[in-house]
Structure formats: structure tokens, C-alpha cells
A = this chain, B = another copy of it.
Amino acid sequence: MAVYTEVSDEELEAFVAEYAIGEVVSCKGIAEGVENSNYLLQTDQGNFILTLYEKRVNPDDLPFFIGLMEHLARQGLACPTPLAGRDGETLRTLCGRPAAIISFLQGLWPRKIHASQCAPLGRAMAEMHLAGLSYGKSRPNTLGQPDWRPLFELERQRADEVKPGLAQMLDAELAELEREWPKDLPSGIIHADLFPDNVFFKGEVVSGLIDFYFACTDFLAYDIAICLNAWCFEAGGDFNATKARNMLIGYQQVRPLTQAEFDALPMLCRGAAMRFLLTRLYDWLNTPTGAFVKRKDPLEYEKKLRFHAQVSGPGDYGLEMAAS
């Protein structure tokens, strides 16, 4: 799936020769991820990931992402690290695209989530948030709350093709998010896309976080809200409060939430559901049939949005109050 660019042997060998990582033994496209072309590159010295950045990543943002991974790794976080070539550069060009060789991370991402994995997830996320505080750069969230309405306007005319009444529901929900969106929560670098396929485990231990290509500056608790959406609903649509509780407890073992963050959880969760609903809806309406990409169902997030809109308070996420 995620191989948009075929790299010839000559180009590959010339590229790898820029690094002190030995000779190419094999190179296979990886069927995961949808934004970039990823190869599992094996040399006589080990395994690496070769990433070619395709057009959905803005090349101007790459130094931010690459620098962030380097910074987090230096802080001791398990995350892929871009390798420097013999010239000291981590980012170069392959087949006309920006490209990097990244360290290979062991572990498996959970196809089926166990409640016992949610506390380690919460701890790893909090550790990333703390480690990110000393990263000197920032990057605005280009899919943050102010961006949702303009995105919706591109979809308004056709939203009801997916579900009758959807446009009106989104319009009303966006108005409420504009009125109620929190203003002054603790901010920092968030991952912004910490779905299960971006978290590797060895058993119950997180062995690494990957795919930092949506990372940006935003409320730290918004990252938690994204994970509550991505990790704590069952396939049938039911919310699993045990998973949510475990995640919040694990997170607070490393970084306790302020009462304001805790109280904002329902609204942050509604916003996170809105963000993924809108981008999935956009892809759904704009991916040509016959295209080479599997479209994700936007209505999964419409159901999640409805759940968050009806909770009676943050206690519905499994904890009565923030850690004191």
C-alpha cells in the first residue's frame, strides 16, 4: 500500500553508499502507512527503514519532524531516529523526493487492543509530552480547531451523500466547538496521530512510538483526547471505560493532569472526533473510485462524536477527577 515510488537498484545503492551502514542485502516495500513510501532496508549491518516523503508531507516541515525525532531519542524516548550520512546530513533526495534512512524499531503494533496496554500507552504519551517540552521548535497544528470549519465548507454540499442530515449536524457541532473550545490549557509538542499502528509493543511494554509526521504544537490533553477516540472504542462502537481509565491513570503516573485539563476532556474528545471525521469525509468524497488507497469510514467518527457530545462529564472517561 504505502509504496508510491519504486526505487531502482542503482539509485538505492548510490543512496545507501552515502551512509556508513554497509551493503544493501534486500529492500522490501512495507504495506503500512498511507502518507509516505516506506521500505524495510536490510544491509549486512542490520535493518533500517527507508522513507521517501510523498506529496502529502510539506517538505518545509521535514526539518521540524526530523529534528523532533532526534530530540526525543536524545531524551531517551524509544522512537525512530534519522541516520546521518557521511556528510552529517539526515535528509537527502532519492527519486526526486526528500528521503531519509531511519533506525528500525522492534515490536508489534496491537491489531487487537488489550485494556492492559492502555496504561503503558498513557505513560509513553506523557513521557513524550515531557521530553518534547525542551524541543526548541514549534509547528502550528494545521488540522487544529480553527481549521475545521474551512475544511467543512469544502464538504458541506456533499456531506449528505454519506449520511442524510450530516451537514446540518456538523454545522451545529462546529458552532458549539467554536463557543466551548478551551483557551488556556498547557501546550507543547503533541504527536496528533497516536493510533494503534503508531505504537509498538513487546508484550505489555511500549517499545516505541513512530510516525511523527503530524506532530505539532497544541494542548497536550488534546493528544489524550485523540487516543481516547483511537484506542477506547470497541469495533461495534461501544466505549470501553476500562481502557480509558487505564490510559488516564498511566498518563498521570508520569504527568498529572490539571483540573482544567481534566474538565476539558469531553470537549477535547468531541474536537478530536470532529477532526478525524472531517478528514475522513474529505478523503471519502475526493478519493477517485478505483484509487489505490483504502478509504476509512468517516461515520465511525460520527458515532464517536455523538458519544462524546452526550457524556455527563469527564467522569464518564473512567476517573472521577484529575490526580491531585
Contacts and interface: CB of A to CB of B under 8 A. Distances in A.
Interface string A91-122: 00000000000001111101110000000000
Given A9-B201, A40-B40, A27 B292 contact: no
A170 interface: no
Contacts of A201: 9
Contacts of A8: 110-112
A47 interface: yes
A29 interface: yes
Bin the interface of chain A by size: 35 or more
Contacts of A29: 30-32
Interface in A1-29: 1-3, 6-10, 12, 24-29
A28 B32 contact: yes
Copies in the complex: 2
Interface in A258-291: 289-291
A128 to B, nearest CB: 21
A263 B240 CA distance: 71
Interface string A172-200: 00000000000000000000000000001
Given A27-B108, A47-B42, A290 B292 contact: no
A294 interface: yes
A49 to B, nearest CB: 9
Given A7-B111, A25-B107, A289-B290, 18 more contacts: A1-B31, A3-B31, A8-B110, A8-B111, A8-B112, A9-B201, A26-B104, A26-B105, A26-B106, A28-B30, A28-B32, A29-B30, A29-B31, A30-B31, A31-B31, A42-B47, A290-B290, A290-B291
Report, nearest first, the 9 A-B pairs whose CB atoms are least far apart: A29-B31, A31-B31, A289-B290, A289-B289, A8-B111, A3-B31, A8-B112, A25-B106, A6-B111
